[in-house]
Amino acid sequence: MQKAETSYANQIQGLEGDAKTLKIADIRLRDCINILDKIHREALEDLMFVDGQQWPEDILRQRNDDKRPSETINKIPPTINQVVNDMRQNKPQVKVRPIDSVTDPKTASVIDGLIRNIMTNASAKSAVDTATFYQVAAGFGYIRVLTRYIDETSFDQEAYIERIENPFSVYMPIHLINQLDFSDMPYCFIRTRMSKDEFAEAYPDSDMTSYDTAGVGEDYWIGQDFIYICEYFEKVCEYETLYQLSNNEITKDKERVKKAEEEGITVKNKREVEKITIVWRKITKNEILEEQEFPGCYIPIVPVLGQELNVNGEKKWHSLTRFMKAAQRMYNYMFNAFVEIVALAPRAPFVLAQAQVEGYEDIWKTANAKNHAFLPYHPVTEDGALLPPPQRTAPPEAGNSVYQGIMIAIEQMKECSGIYDASLGAKGNESSGKAIIARQRQGDTSNFHFSDNQAQSLKQVARILVDIIPELYDMPRAIRILGEDMTDSVVSINQMHQDPSNPNKLYDMSVGKYDIMIDIGPSYETRRIETAEQLMHIMQANPQAATPLMDLIYRNLDFTYASEAADRMKKLIQTQYPGLIADDSQAVEDPEKQIQAMVQDMQKLMQAHQLTTQQNIQMKQMIDALQTQLKSKNDELQVKADGQVLRAQAESHKAEIDLAKTMIHEHMNQQQPGLRMNPIDLGNKGSGPMTTQNPL
C-alpha cells in the first residue's frame, strides 16, 4: 500500500485523516472504472444477447421504419442453461485438511463440517448460483463473505456468504492482481446507487448541501438526482519483527525479548514479517459514513471468472456467449429473410377457362384469400373435348439459399459453444450406452474451464472462512456442522466436549493450520445414487451376494426410512452371517490407547501454546525432583535386593556346611560303631573333649 500512496503524492499533498483517505479512494475508484470500462462493455453486450437484445439499434430502427420483420429467435439461453445447470448439479466439494503435526484431525473435521454448513445454506447457494450464471453468460460474477451476530441478544458472531446481484457494481485494480482467485487483491469497491431522498433518510446526519450539484466529470459519485455509496475494502500492510530465542521460543513481543535477554536467553534469529489488516469503510465522495476492521487477511470479495486471457498486457474475461453472438446474428438475419421471402411470395394462380367460372367470379377472386368450402365451376368442352377442372400452377420456391444459411448458423452456434445435440439429449447414431455418454461428455469437456474456475473461487471462499473462524468462533458455544453425507450434528467448541463418542475432547478453533482441498467430482448425492446402482448390478450378476449387500443398498437409496431399513437389515445380516459385520456396540477402545491419545493431545496443546521460560524452568525443576526421587527409590530397592542376595548366599553356605557335617558323622560312625559323635560337635571350638564313652 505504501507504493500506491507514493504515486498519489502530488494529489494528496497537505491532506490528513479522512480527507486523505477519501482522496485516495476517489483516485483509486476513478482508475478502476477506467480500467474495467472495456471489460464491462463487452460483458454487458453479452448479457443483452442472453436477454434477447440482439439487433444493432440503427439496423433495428431502419427495419422497423421499412416495416420489415425483425424477430429474435434466441437460441443462446438454452446453451447457457445447459452449462450452468450442470455446474449447479455438481458443485465442487470443499474439504479442510490439517497441514502440520500440531493440528488435531478431529478439530479439522469440525471446521470442515462448519464450513460445509455455511456453504450449503440458502444464501450461499443463491450467491454461488448467481455468480456462476454471470460467469458463463457475461464472463465474471462475484461472491462475498460477511459476518453478523447470530441474533439481537447475543455477542456471538457467525460467517455467512451473500450474493452480489449486480457484478458491474464491483471495481478492483486488475492490473495489480495476479491470482485467478484475487487473493492478492489490494483494494476493492462495491458501488451502490441511491436517490438523494433515500440517502437523506438513511443518513440524516450527513450534510446534504455538499451533494446538491455534481462536479464536472464526477458523475461516478454524484448525479442530478442520485448519490453513489461505495463499500471500500483496503488491505493495510504493516511490518513487524519476528524473534526466535535460544530456547526456541518464537515471539513478536519486544518486551518479552527484552525480559528474556535479562534472563540470559539470547536472540537466535529474527526476520521482518508482514501484518495484514482489512479495513472496511462505507464512503461517499465527501465523507466516511462507517468504518471498521474485517477479520482475517483477505478482502472478502471472490470473483468467479470465465476464460481469462492476457492479450498484450490487457486482461479479458470471455463468456460462453462471447463467440456465439456472430452466429446468433446470422441466424436472426437468415430467419427473418426467410420469413420475408415467404410473406412476399405471390400465391400460385389458377389456370382455367373463363367460361368455367362464369357466374362464380366473386368466389374465385377470393380463392387465394379465403378458405371456401368448395369452388364451383362449369364443365366446358372445346372441340368436343371436356376441359380439365381449374388447376394451380407450381408454387414459387421460398429460397433454398436462405434455408441453407439458417442451418449453417445453427451449426456455427454449436461449434462456438462446444455443445452439440448429444449434450442436449438429442438421439444420434450411437447405439451403446458408453458411446452415448462419451458424446454427452464432449460438451462438458469443452466447457470444463468454467467449472474449474468456479472450484478455484470456492476454494478461496473456504480459505477466507478458515482465516476468520478463529476470530469469530472464539468463545465456548455449540455450533451446527454438516457431514459429507449432509447429516447435521451439534458440537461444543472451545470447551471440553462430553459427547459419548469423544469424552473429554477439546475442539479449539484457535489452534492449528489448515489447507483447503477441492473435489470437482460428482456430489455426495450423485455418488450415493451411483453406488446404489452399482451394488444392484452386482446383485443381478451374483444373486448369492444379494443378502450380504442389502444394508448397503438400503443406506444409499433415497426414501423416507432408508436408514432405518438399513439398520434392521444389518442386524439380520449379523444373525445370518456371524462375523461378517463388526458389532459397533461391542467395540470398546483399549484403555492403554485412550491414555496414549490423551498424552498425545496434551503434547499437541503444549506445542501449540508455547510455554514461557519460567514455566519451562518450573517444569524442569519438577522433572529433576521426580528423577531424584526415582533414583533414591531405585537405590533403596537395590540395597534390599543386595541384602536378599547375601541372605540367600549365607543360607546356601550354611546348608552346605550342615550337609558336610552330616556326611562326616555318618562316615565316622561306620568306621567306629561304638563311638557316637554328634554332628553338631564337629563345629565346636575349644579344648573340651570331643568324644563321649558309649555306656553300652
Sequence-ordered strand ranges (E) for 371-526? 381-382, 385-386, 391-392, 477-482, 488-493, 496-499, 502-506, 514-519
DSSP 3-state of 559: coil
* DSSP output for 308-339: EEEETTEEEEE-SSTTTHHHHHHHHHHHHHHH
Tell me which of 678 and 574 has the higher pLDDT. Answer: 574
Q: Find the distance separating the first CA and the last CA of the chain, reported in whole Å.
A: 129
The reported pTM is 0.69
Q: By the 8 A CB rule, do 107 and 115 touch? A: no
Encode burial over 417-427: b for 16+ CB neighbours within 10 A, e otherwise.
Answer: bbbbebbeeee
The pLDDT tens digits for 232-258 are 999 999 888 999 998 888 888 888 888
- Inform me whether the pLDDT recorded for 482 exceeds 60: yes
Q: By the 8 A CB rule, do 136 and 443 touch? A: no
CA 458 to centroid of chain Cα atoms: 4
- Inform me whether the pLDDT recorded for 622 exceeds 80: no
Q: Which of 68-82, 95-109, 242-256, 413-427 has the lowest mean pLDDT?
A: 413-427
What Rg value do the Cα atoms of the chain yield, rounded? 45
Tell me which of 127 and 393 has the higher pLDDT. Answer: 127
In one-letter notation, the amino acid at residue 136 is V
Look at residue 330 in the predicted model and tell me its pLDDT.
Answer: 92
Q: How many CB atoms lie within 10 A of CB 412?
A: 17
Grid cell for residue 641: 535386593
Rounded to 5°, angle at Cα 254 from 249 and 258: 80
Evaluated on CA atoms 113, 118, 122, 126, the torsion sign reads negative
Report the share of the chain in percent with pLDDT over 70: 72
Tell me which of 47 and 383 has the higher pLDDT. Answer: 47
What is the DSSP pairing of strand 288-294 with strand 301-305? unpaired
Q: How many CB atoms lie within 10 A of CB 330?
A: 17
The confidence band for 635, taking pLDDT boundaries of 50, 70 and 90, is low
Cα separation, 605 vs 494, in Å, equals 13
Tell me which of 355 and 540 has the higher pLDDT. Answer: 355
Kindly list the domain boundaries of the chain, sorted by start residue: 2-69+119-233+276-318, 524-590, 613-671
Cα separation, 512 vs 97, in Å, equals 10
Look at residue 387 in the predicted model and tell me its pLDDT.
Answer: 85
- Inform me whether the pLDDT recorded for 154 exceeds 80: yes
Evaluated on CA atoms 286, 292, 298, 299, the torsion sign reads negative
Give the side-chain half-sphere CA count within 13 A for 385: 3
Cα separation, 41 vs 417, in Å, equals 21
The pLDDT tens digits for 489-512 are 888 888 876 666 666 677 888 888
- Inform me whether the pLDDT recorded for 592 exceeds 60: no
